[in-house]
Amino acid sequence: MDPIPKKESHPVIEFTDAEVVSQDSGRVYRTVLSYELESGETMSHNVDVQIEEGSDKPPFDRQIKALNVGIDTFHKKIRKRQREESKEDPIRNV
């Protein structure tokens, strides 16, 4: 029996642990998302989350929300770049 075809899946991305990049009016945590295209080019996208001093929201909740939005935005950028690459590659357009 043939496997059921899947809908287009999200690209699998890599990400770094969040690190503090600024402490001016609270802490800004940066997570770097990266993805290697078939061409070998690596795309990256920064997700910054600012946690103000004295904030009543747990930092973890804000980081998760920001990462969800950042990952969604990065997926859109990856798909756009993949479409551009497939248009540029005459072999794939046959």
Q: What is the pLDDT of residue 8?
A: 55
Q: What is the mean pLDDT of residues 55-70?
A: 78
Residue range of the domain that includes 42: 14-88
Q: What is the pLDDT of residue 24?
A: 77
Containing H/E element for 67? Answer: helix 59-88
Instruction: Examine residue 8 and state whether it is found in any structural domain, yes or no.
Output: no
**Mean pLDDT, rounded, of the chain:** 78
Does residue 66 sit in helix, strand or coil? helix
The total of structural domains in the chain comes to 1
Instruction: Examine residue 35 and state whether it is found in any structural domain, yes or no.
Output: yes
* pLDDT confidence tier of residue 91, bands split at 50, 70 and 90: low
Q: Are strands 26-36 and 19-22 parallel, antiparallel or unpaired?
A: antiparallel
Instruction: Examine residue 33 and state whether it is found in any structural domain, yes or no.
Output: yes
Residue 11 makes CB contacts below 8 A (sequence gap 6+) with 35, 75, 78, 79
Angle (CA) 75-21-64 rounded to 5° is 45
The pairs formed by 11-19 with CB atoms below 8 angstroms and a separation of 24 or more are 11/35, 11/75, 11/78, 11/79, 13/71, 13/74, 13/75, 13/78, 15/67, 18/49, 18/63
Q: What is the mean pLDDT of residues 11-30?
A: 78
The reported pTM is 0.65
Does residue 76 sit in helix, strand or coil? helix
pLDDT at 30 over 70: yes
Instruction: Examine residue 9 and state whether it is found in any structural domain, yes or no.
Output: no
Q: What is the mean pLDDT of residues 62-91?
A: 85
pLDDT at 48 over 80: yes
